[in-house]
Chains A and B, each alone.
Chain A
Amino acid sequence: MGGGGVSDDAGPPSASAAGHVADCRSRDRGQTTIDYAVGVSVFLLVVAFVFAFAPSLTAPFTSDATDAVVVADRSADRIANDLLVEDPARPTVLNASCTGAFFDTDGPDRSDDCRYDANASDLKGSLGVISPSRAVNVTVVGSETTLAAGPSPPRGADVSVARRAVLLGGADATVIVRVW
């Protein structure tokens, strides 16, 4: 093992270590201290690695964000394929006036011509998000207009985002749903 310790037992030790060498009379003890240190440090390193690694084995199942991902996905589906569409047989084709009325929280809550029961003034209710700890923001980004409902995500929040490509008033638009 260690090069320095090979001839410890054979050669005459220095005066200060004489008492110690006298204890190690048998020749088979070699470099006990160094080898012990190597063995224990390897063992301790591996123990530390295992303890650091073990929690990450279950990380995909325990993460808080897993339900937000599903909520965002379902909410985006509901908006793009049901709530704002002109005809549910033609998903992602939004009705421009219904979409405008949905995001206009000052206007009437519902209209007989549109498919939603409540507009963005009760955003979580119309999306079916009942968990009080979840917040939702829906933004429709068109080439010229941007419609938004819901609070803005706080800085540093763990936000799950779902996107849908839709047709709004004959032009392409993107529905972005943020859940945190």
Chain B
Amino acid sequence: MRAQAHTLEGFAAAIILLSGVLFALQATAVTPLTASTSNQHIENQQAAVAEGTLAAAEANGTLTPTLLYWNTSGDRFIGSGSDGTYAGGGPPTRFGAALNRTFAADRIAFNVEVSYRTAGGRGRTRMVYMGSPSDNAVAATRTVVLFDDDPVGDGSGTLADVADDPDREFYADDTDGGPLYGVMEVRIVVWRI
């Protein structure tokens, strides 16, 4: 009896100590085991870099040609995979090369999608899809305006020509009767792999 009491006493004391630690863990909002704290700085940096990449691409005029890099007869981005998106990296444009240099070279995965207004709400087309983002992914968006006389990347003419041709199709429809074609929102989602 007394022997087992010693063992039980040891275990009971240990349990009391461990519940003290557990209580302290619950009382602290942020602990070393909280996943997002160690990543917060990295997430901030990735968000800022994604924002900067989009701003730089817009400033040197490489963002719009990438949005127009569309195969109007094949109904997909030029040179994309079987599901119509680029999977292994950015599109083969200058903006895609910038994405590859900025993110893919550092082993950071990214998705790029374009959203636009449609007759019934908002449409969305995936341009780069590297998979489902992780919980710690960050996003950056940029708005780009397309006009009716912007040339489509496959050389089939302007957006207005494509809209008039029943055999050809652009992923977004003309939303405006005037010279405006549509307002596209480019969204980059970035996460560590």
Contact = CB atoms under 8 A, between A and B. Distances in A.
A67 to B, nearest CB: 12
Looking at chain B, what size class is its interface with the partner chain?
35 or more
B49 A39 contact: no
B60 A167 contact: yes
Contacts of B25: 57
A148 B23 CA distance: 49
B10 A40 contact: yes
A39 B55 contact: no
A96 interface: no
Interface in B30-57: 30-32, 34, 37, 41, 44-45, 48-53, 55-56
Interface in B127-185: none
B101 A172 contact: yes
B6 A35 contact: yes
Interface string A25-50: 00011111011101111110111001
A164 B53 CA distance: 8
Interface in A50-75: 50, 53-54, 56-61, 69, 73
Q: Considering residues B8, B10, B50, which has the most beta carbons from chain A within 10 angstroms of its beta carbon?
A: B10
A60 B37 contact: yes
A120 interface: no
Contacts of A61: 30
Contacts of A167: 55-56, 59-60
Interface in B1-23: 1-4, 6-11, 13-14, 17-18, 20-21
Nearest to A53: B21
Nearest to B37: A60
Given A43-B14, A73-B41, A172-B98, A29 B48 contact: no
Interface in B91-134: 98, 101-102
A24 to B, nearest CB: 11
A38 B7 contact: yes
A165 B1 CA distance: 72
A114 interface: no
Nearest to B9: A39
B114 to A, nearest CB: 20
B24 A54 contact: yes
A1 to B, nearest CB: 7
Contacts of B13: 43, 46
Contact of A93 (B11, B18, B30, B59): B59
Contacts of A42: 7, 10-11, 14
A73 B40 CA distance: 12
B102 A165 contact: yes
B45 to A, nearest CB: 5
A73 B45 contact: yes
A92 B56 contact: yes
A84 B168 CA distance: 45
A61 to B, nearest CB: 8
A166 interface: yes
A39 B41 CA distance: 45
A56 B31 CA distance: 8
23 contacts: A1-B4, A1-B7, A30-B2, A35-B7, A39-B9, A43-B9, A45-B14, A46-B17, A50-B17, A50-B20, A54-B21, A57-B25, A58-B28, A60-B32, A80-B48, A90-B59, A92-B56, A92-B59, A163-B49, A164-B48, A165-B53, A166-B52, A166-B56
